[in-house]
Amino acid sequence: MAERAAEAEAGVEVDALSKHYKVHKRPPGTLAALRSLWSRSYETVRAVDGLSFSIAPGERVGFLGPNGAGKTTTLKVLSGLLYPTQGQVRVAGHTPQQREVRFLKRITLVMGQKQQLLWDLPPSETYALNRAIYDVSRGDFEATMKELTELLDLGPLLGKPTRQLSLGERMKCELAAALLHRPRVLFLDEPTIGLDVNMQAAMRDFIRAYNERHGATVILTSHYMADVLALCPRVIVIDKGKLLYDGDLKALARRISPDKLVTLELRAPVAAPDLSKFGVVVEHGEHRAALRVPQTGLQAAIAGLLAALPVEDLTVVDPPLEDVMRQLFASTSASTSTSTSTGESTSTSTDAG
């Protein structure tokens, strides 16, 4: 009964969330530094600005945006590390900034560039410390350790000092440390950063297995689009602290870039004009070419290519997600520039003291 109740409260609700910072701005130089002792100019930076979304228990959601979009700030507010300037946030049935013990036992925050492992001690020592911090019973601790050791292949790593582990090995141990208390909500901020492709795949498999086994809610930020494609049917995209898109990942790709990418392996060279009859040429080599073809004319284009050209092999795929995101952010930047030119600006203030 308690387990089912915990699952029901493992969702995330964000309503008009804003997080603003007051930043001191001054020109360089000694005179400017002295002047700032009496009078300072400030700029209000809107890291998150009126953000709203809802995530159901057990969902895996990609939280995407360019650098500086407000992703990490939002995750820190959701985990209770930062207070919101405005708006309401509920995570697993709790208000994060209150930092209740029951709330902290239900969440975890994994940041790819931060570590909690004790540097000169083996990971097993960190795990023992976390067991005490989270007040995990000996039986639950041993059962969870057995499960995590099997899923992540931790056996050879548990007794080595952390400083002797490779980056990939440390990240596996970091993830295990963050999951020892079996959290219901996982905030994963770049969990595969710096890992090789094999280790990235292993981490993705583990996150999916944990989600499916425990019904945990997963919010993932990553600049590796392979992580998002493999794990997240739904994406929330933000830029400059504002919501750009919330919905199905495939629907986003169709909306931003409705064309298909047709790649050809050719038995003999083909001139670019002969290819352009069937679509927009995006790659042209002696024995390889790629075309962007509208979805509505795909069948006719494929039939024409096979009939008219020396095609050895042909593949049809959606445009890379990186290209879709690039187009989305480019269109947003263009609209923002237009708004700024019509008079919209960041607020500033001057304090004298």
How do the domains of the chain map onto residue ranges? 2-19+52-253, 258-317
Q: For domain 258-317, give its CATH number from 3.30.70, 1.10.620, 1.10.3470, 1.10.287.
A: 3.30.70
Q: CB count, 10 Å around CB of 219?
A: 25
Pairing of strands 311-317, 260-266: antiparallel
- Residue 100, token pair as written in the block: 């209740």
Distance from C-alpha of 45 to C-alpha of 109, rounded to nearest angstrom = 24
Residues 6+ positions from 22 with CB-CB distance below 8 Å? 42, 43, 44, 45, 349
pTM of the model: 0.81
Query: Which helix (H) or strand (E) segment is 26 a member of?
Result: none
Q: CB count, 10 Å around CB of 124?
A: 15
DSSP readout, 219-262? EEE-S-HHHHHHH-SEEEEEETTEEEEEEEHHHHHHHH--PEEE
E-strand stretches of the chain: 12-25, 39-55, 60-64, 86-91, 107-111, 185-189, 217-221, 234-239, 242-248, 260-266, 280-284, 288-293, 311-317, 348-352
Q: What is the pLDDT along the chain (353 residues), one digit of tens a residue?
A: 444 444 446 799 999 999 999 888 888 888 888 888 888 888 888 999 999 999 999 999 999 999 889 999 999 999 999 999 999 999 999 999 999 999 999 999 988 778 889 999 999 999 999 999 999 999 999 999 998 898 888 999 999 999 999 888 888 898 899 999 999 999 999 888 877 888 888 889 889 999 998 899 999 998 888 899 899 999 999 999 999 999 998 888 888 888 889 999 999 998 988 898 899 998 998 889 999 998 888 999 999 999 999 999 999 988 888 888 888 888 776 666 555 554 444 455 555 54
* Identity of the residue numbered 246: D
Q: For domain 2-19+52-253, give its CATH number from 3.40.50.300, 3.90.1150.10, 3.20.20.450, 3.20.20.80.
A: 3.40.50.300
Residue 136 sits at φ, ψ, to 5 deg, of: -85, 135
